[in-house]
A and B are shown apart, each in its own frame.
Chain A
């Protein structure tokens, strides 16, 4: 019998925080397409004698994210130095967090979170041939920009659930307003640890004795492809009876295959030790409680509320909620429509959602007011005023006593006749919903 192999996958997600300044100095952190080495200082260039000074906003952003992931916040945490050599790392160590990260544990979208910590980003390398010589160019504008890292437990077994999880994470980050999490600009970067477990390992709840790290993935599509070819590669190797090794692999888009970047021989040895230049950080339960209060309505809660409060379909609610700007646009348009027409007017929540989603009217009108105006034009029925309706209803009720008493004795169908009579008086210009409301009000009086 062929052994069933189950993918065991854990994720690492790096998110560059959208603070104004870098993590340890007051240089601007907004580094995207700026002139090289123009947003640097002795601290982020690692010059001798420079001392880091922690940006509290970055700490707070990390903790907010941790709270949204259901993590426990460490009331005592510190930074550590992680040592390795690479030209984009000016100090030859990265200030990160080792044994006492800001956030530990947690559970999000049904997946266990291991930790969320804060570290500094590296400089940026550009590879170029200059005067016939292959060279690497270094820009330190990105050096020391706050980078938050979340690590999950190996709770994923298929690619689809990875992608949907990551999209949810990206959305939460945007709702929290702590980063744009824009993959194209590198403010969200992904890594996946992949191995395959056989039936015995699954039954014994044991992890395989190796794992392959897929690094430097900068789009969901890329991750989808890279992970699926890697799972295929591992499946084929294991079926042939080969042994897989612990290694880091990159993905070659052109060849549609993964390639080894580093094997077990160069296993991590970062010689972590406490960053003596930065005193530890102590937080109180009170601070955490207050931070919890600043967390806005998150996508899942909004989804549920939209379905319930506005009676939107699951699809509509999902589409609107997956873009915070769009969700806000929808609610603003609805608010404006209701203040114009009154509650329960023809411009229902569903109509607005439909015009936004199926006719993309929100793209045509950047302001909700424009959309509302357009809808009025589209429907272009100049409805009779409330006063006109009320007068018409009054006389209809007087002129049709029999129908009214029929209604009162239980013949609900009569209402249609009364609506027709009222519309006749209004020359068909009555807003059917309002006419109905006013009639019912009148009958009950």
Chain B
């Protein structure tokens, strides 16, 4: 079964924007490996006769008309979860890095 390396853990940590110490990496390495192994159990299920699916509800084409409806929240409501605002905007520390994607 999947055996993770230290580099894998660092990579996953970076994708999750986490700074891990060496001690933490060593702690999470076996834990993550175990989780993967556990999920890997699914690989034992015989799926030869099953159609792949990306959902469980069995629905298709849940679509709506293009009609504007009033929102349940106004600007105050939208900003109510934070006290860091400025002129109707959410305010965060300056983002210096370029986005990794548009």
Asked if A382 is at the interface (CB within 8 A of a chain B CB), the reply is no
Asked if A28 is at the interface (CB within 8 A of a chain B CB), the reply is yes
Q: A-B pairs with the 8 shortest C-beta distances?
A: A274-B54, A137-B89, A134-B94, A57-B66, A279-B59, A56-B63, A26-B69, A41-B71
B77-94 residues with Cβ-Cβ distance < 8 A to A are 78-79, 86-94
Complexed CA–CA distance, A94 and B101 (Å): 10
Contacts of B71 in A (CB 8 A): 26-27, 39-41
Question: Across the interface, do B68 and A85 meet the contact criterion of CB distance under 8 Å?
Answer: no
Complexed CA–CA distance, A216 and B99 (Å): 10
B1-25 residues with Cβ-Cβ distance < 8 A to A are 11, 15, 17
Contacts of A261 in B (CB 8 A): 98
Complexed CA–CA distance, A55 and B65 (Å): 6
Contacts of B90 in A (CB 8 A): 37, 87, 137-140
Min C-beta distance of B58 to chain A, whole Å: 8
Question: Across the interface, do A282 and B61 meet the contact criterion of CB distance under 8 Å?
Answer: yes
Interface readout for A111-145 with B: 1 if CB under 8 Å, 0 if not?
00000000000100111101001111111100000
**Which A residue sits closest to B66, measured CB to CB?**
A57
Question: Across the interface, do A281 and B61 meet the contact criterion of CB distance under 8 Å?
Answer: yes
Contacts of A126 in B (CB 8 A): 89
Contacts of B101 in A (CB 8 A): 82, 84, 86, 94, 268, 270
Complexed CA–CA distance, A78 and B73 (Å): 29
SS class, residues of chain B in contact with chain A: loop
Question: Across the interface, do B60 and A20 meet the contact criterion of CB distance under 8 Å?
Answer: no
Question: Across the interface, do B73 and A40 meet the contact criterion of CB distance under 8 Å?
Answer: yes
Min C-beta distance of A220 to chain B, whole Å: 18
Complexed CA–CA distance, A331 and B59 (Å): 48
Interface readout for B15-49 with A: 1 if CB under 8 Å, 0 if not?
10100000000000000000000000000000000
Question: Across the interface, do A42 and B72 meet the contact criterion of CB distance under 8 Å?
Answer: yes
Complexed CA–CA distance, A35 and B64 (Å): 26
Asked if B95 is at the interface (CB within 8 A of a chain A CB), the reply is yes
Min C-beta distance of B1 to chain A, whole Å: 20
Question: Across the interface, do A140 and B78 meet the contact criterion of CB distance under 8 Å?
Answer: yes
Min C-beta distance of B20 to chain A, whole Å: 16
A/B interface sample: 15 pairs, CB < 8 A: A26-B67, A26-B69, A27-B68, A37-B88, A38-B88, A40-B78, A42-B73, A55-B64, A84-B101, A138-B90, A138-B91, A266-B100, A269-B15, A271-B15, A274-B55
| Cross-chain contact of B54 among A128, A216, A269, A276 (Cβ < 8 A) | A276
Question: Across the interface, do B75 and A86 meet the contact criterion of CB distance under 8 Å?
Answer: no
Complexed CA–CA distance, A270 and B100 (Å): 10
**Which A residue sits closest to B65, measured CB to CB?**
A56
Contacts of B67 in A (CB 8 A): 20-21, 26
Complexed CA–CA distance, A271 and B63 (Å): 26
**Which B residue sits closest to A279, measured CB to CB?**
B59
Tally of chain A residues near chain B (CB < 8 A): 67
Given A56-B63, A189-B102, A279-B62, also A28-B68 (CB < 8 A): yes
**Which A residue sits closest to B58, measured CB to CB?**
A279
Complexed CA–CA distance, A270 and B101 (Å): 10
Having A42-B72, A280-B55, one finds 12 other A-B pairs with CB under 8 Å, namely A37-B79, A54-B63, A55-B63, A83-B15, A94-B101, A125-B95, A133-B93, A136-B91, A136-B93, A261-B98, A262-B98, A278-B62
Min C-beta distance of B54 to chain A, whole Å: 3
Asked if A59 is at the interface (CB within 8 A of a chain B CB), the reply is yes
Question: Across the interface, do B62 and A53 meet the contact criterion of CB distance under 8 Å?
Answer: yes
A52-86 residues with Cβ-Cβ distance < 8 A to B are 53-59, 78, 82-86
Min C-beta distance of A78 to chain B, whole Å: 6
Asked if A36 is at the interface (CB within 8 A of a chain B CB), the reply is yes
Question: Across the interface, do A127 and B72 meet the contact criterion of CB distance under 8 Å?
Answer: no
Question: Across the interface, do A279 and B60 meet the contact criterion of CB distance under 8 Å?
Answer: yes
Min C-beta distance of B32 to chain A, whole Å: 14
Min C-beta distance of B22 to chain A, whole Å: 20
A86-127 residues with Cβ-Cβ distance < 8 A to B are 86-88, 94, 122, 125-127
Asked if A302 is at the interface (CB within 8 A of a chain B CB), the reply is no
| Cross-chain contact of A280 among B54, B56, B73, B99 (Cβ < 8 A) | B54
Asked if B50 is at the interface (CB within 8 A of a chain A CB), the reply is no
Asked if A208 is at the interface (CB within 8 A of a chain B CB), the reply is no
Contacts of B78 in A (CB 8 A): 37-38, 40, 45, 140
Given A37-B88, A139-B89, also A19-B66 (CB < 8 A): yes
Question: Across the interface, do B64 and A53 meet the contact criterion of CB distance under 8 Å?
Answer: yes
Question: Across the interface, do A20 and B102 meet the contact criterion of CB distance under 8 Å?
Answer: no
Complexed CA–CA distance, A39 and B73 (Å): 9
Asked if A432 is at the interface (CB within 8 A of a chain B CB), the reply is no
Min C-beta distance of B79 to chain A, whole Å: 6
Question: Across the interface, do B86 and A135 meet the contact criterion of CB distance under 8 Å?
Answer: yes
Given A27-B68, A41-B73, A57-B66, also A137-B86 (CB < 8 A): yes
